[in-house]
Structure 1
């Protein structure tokens, strides 16, 4: 039976653990791409209107599960660079999950064991769905498929011209257009109301 304790666990998982795991996943792109000379990196957390932008972090108003990494260009463009960048999120979540699991196995973090076990679960969840090659619902390949294609064919084989990781300048341009549309709609409402 679903009780109050289960509700608290669900809220903790949805609003604390899952967003942190997603943030760490997206940070994997950022960390690895920095090694290969990424230009204009940005880690966007959430969606909708911007709350603040600080350095590479762009924090938005609405639910923070929707996050992504963007950059404008790479200094070292080669297959190895791209494979490493797309492996970054997989490796980041894998390393964190294995480390926390090892700490739990060695008697550490026992005070919050249930919390950390859920954290490990979500980290491995993202590792699984990032690493197993597949085409996602929007018709684009996941990281595992990108890595597989780069290793097997040496190139992208899905014939999709959209970039796997969007350019930061394009993301900013789309954001400004969206905010202008919202502003126009708000102004129209004020004139009518």
Structure 2
């Protein structure tokens, strides 16, 4: 039976564990691409309007599971380099899960064992989702499919022109356009409200 304890566990999973695991996954891209000479890397956490930006970290106002990594280009342009980048999220999540699992097996975190077991569950969920080759939204290949295609054919063969890892400059331009649209909508709402009250008084 789903009770209060389960509800609390669900809230913790949705608003603490999932965002943290997602962030760890994105750092896999960041670390590997950084080693390969990525230019203009950025870790975006959350969605919606920007809360603040500091160097390569971009924090958005709506904190949730949505985080992503971008860069403009990398110096090392080889099949091995791209395989390494797409393998980054899989490797970092697997490493984190195995370390925590080993600590739990050696009686660490006894007081918070349920939390860490749940944490490992979500980490391995992302590992499986990334590692098993499959097509996702709009026919986009996941990391496992890209790695498979690179190993077998030496290139992506999915014919999807959208980049799996977006360019930071393009992403920033898109964001600025969205900000302008939001401002326009807000001003229209203010103008309509003022017109409504003016008409009402008249």
Superposition TM-score, scaled by structure 1 size: 0.99
Offset from partner CA, 1:1-44 (integer Å, 9 cap, x none)? 11111111000000000100000000000001011000000000
Partner of 2:64, secondary structure, is strand
Gaps of 5+ in 1: none
Partner of 1:12: 12
Whole-Å separation in 2 of the counterparts to 1:160 and 1:6: 41
Whole-Å separation in 1 of the counterparts to 2:16 and 2:163: 30
Partner of 1:178: 178
Whole-Å separation in 2 of the counterparts to 1:15 and 1:48: 17
Superposition TM-score, scaled by structure 2 size: 0.94
Shift of 1:64: 2.4
Partner of 2:136: 136
Partner of 1:138, secondary structure, is helix
Answering whether residue 151 of structure 2 is matched by residue 151 of structure 1, we say yes
Shift of 1:137: 2.3
Gaps of 5+ in 2: 194-202
Partner of 1:67: 67
Choose 1 or 2 for highest CA Rg. 2
Aligned length: 193
Whole-Å separation in 1 of the counterparts to 2:140 and 2:159: 10
Partner of 1:87: 87
Partner of 2:199: none
Shift of 1:162: 1.8
Partner of 1:107, secondary structure, is coil
Whole-Å separation in 1 of the counterparts to 2:76 and 2:183: 40
C-alpha RMSD of the superposition: 0.7
Offset from partner CA, 1:81-137 (integer Å, 9 cap, x none)? 000000000000000000000000011111100000000000000000100000002
Shift of 1:138: 2.1
Partner of 1:166, secondary structure, is coil
Partner of 2:48, secondary structure, is strand
Runs of at least 4 residues off by over 6 Å: none
